[in-house]
Amino acid sequence: MLRLASKRLLGLATGEAASSRPLQILPRLYHENVIDHYNNPRNVGSFDKNDPNVGTGLVGAPACGDVMKLQIKIDEKSGKIVDACFKTFGCGSAIASSSVATEWVKGKSTEEVLTIKNTEIAKHLSLPPVKLHCSMLAEDAIKAAVKDVEAKRAKLNGSEAAPAEKAANADEMVAGELKGGKNCEEETCLEDCVCNLEPMVIT
């Protein structure tokens, strides 16, 4: 029975071989927006990942093998995203999702782009359910890029603040020692002042 059904599907059953045509596999029909972004992807390229104003998001989908790298460039003064680019290894839907994401993040703050949802990208591209993971990758890549650039800027701000903090601490210590002890609050400090005692560790 199964063999007969297979022959009929292939148009090879008795009496049908000459008259019927071979089975045709219809191509998947994509929305014009997907085709547009696939044929003419926006912002393909890469930035220097070591630039403190550049955030890099690298994400992948083990289920299908798609890998997406999305980068954003932040303006130091305004904090806005002034440019974005991507490189994606994957299907047409993944490439289109990346392309749309780079367009949507430009001109926005990092807080604003975190509100971009995969459902919005999927709706814009009219992605079928089987391709929704591509839009999820785009959302994850945006979040990863923002997290990366914020970590860089926090580290940079911390390293700049460190010398100032050390200088302030040094001034406090000097002022304390001038009063008499290691860091005594009294204007006059005697030799047996508690500030001169070594710290004790009680176990």
In 3D space, the residue among 76, 93, 85 whose CA is nearest the CA of residue 38 turns out to be: 93
Helix, strand, coil fractions of the chain, as percent rounded to 5: 50, 15, 40
Cβ atoms of 13 and 7 within 8 Å: the answer is yes
Please state the φ and ψ torsions of residue 81, each to the nearest 5 degrees. Answer: -80, 115
- Rounded CA separation 11/22 (Å): 6
Helix (H, G, I), strand (E, B) or coil at 124: helix
From CA 151, how far away is CA 153, in angstroms rounded? Answer: 6
* Residues known to be catalytic: 64, 134
**Helix runs in 106-195, H state only:** 110-113, 118-125, 132-179
Q: How far apart (Å, rounded) are the C-alpha atoms in residues 174 and 172?
A: 5
